[in-house]
Amino acid sequence: MDGKNRTNISTGQLVDIVLKKDQATGKRTRGIVKDILTNSSSHPHGIKVRLQNGQVGRVQEIVKD
């Protein structure tokens, strides 16, 4: 599932994000959502979140366990 709709994302979920520094390469970082930073219901590049380790990026995919 992609991360473009805010309703699909909740705290505690395992997600793949792209950090700002990795946007050019598309390198993904996996982590657990701590905070949802995007206020709008959707975003074409992915909802911005903060992971539990403090990294901030846009959700590319919600990982299914």
Residue 1 lies in a domain: no
Residues 6 or more apart whose CB falls under 8 angstroms from that of 47 comprise 3, 4, 5, 6, 9, 36, 37, 38, 58, 59
Structural domain range at position 22: 6-62
pTM of the model: 0.92
Residue 25 lies in a domain: yes
Q: What is the pLDDT of residues 21-46, one digit of tens each?
A: 999 999 999 999 999 999 999 999 99
User: Mapping DSSP to helix (H, G, I), strand (E, B) and coil, where does residue 1 land?
Assistant: coil
Q: What is the tally of structural domains in the chain? A: 1
- At 10 the pLDDT is 95
Q: What is the CATH number of the domain that holds 43?
A: 2.30.30
**Distance of alpha carbon 39 from alpha carbon 24, whole angstroms:** 24
- At 15 the pLDDT is 97
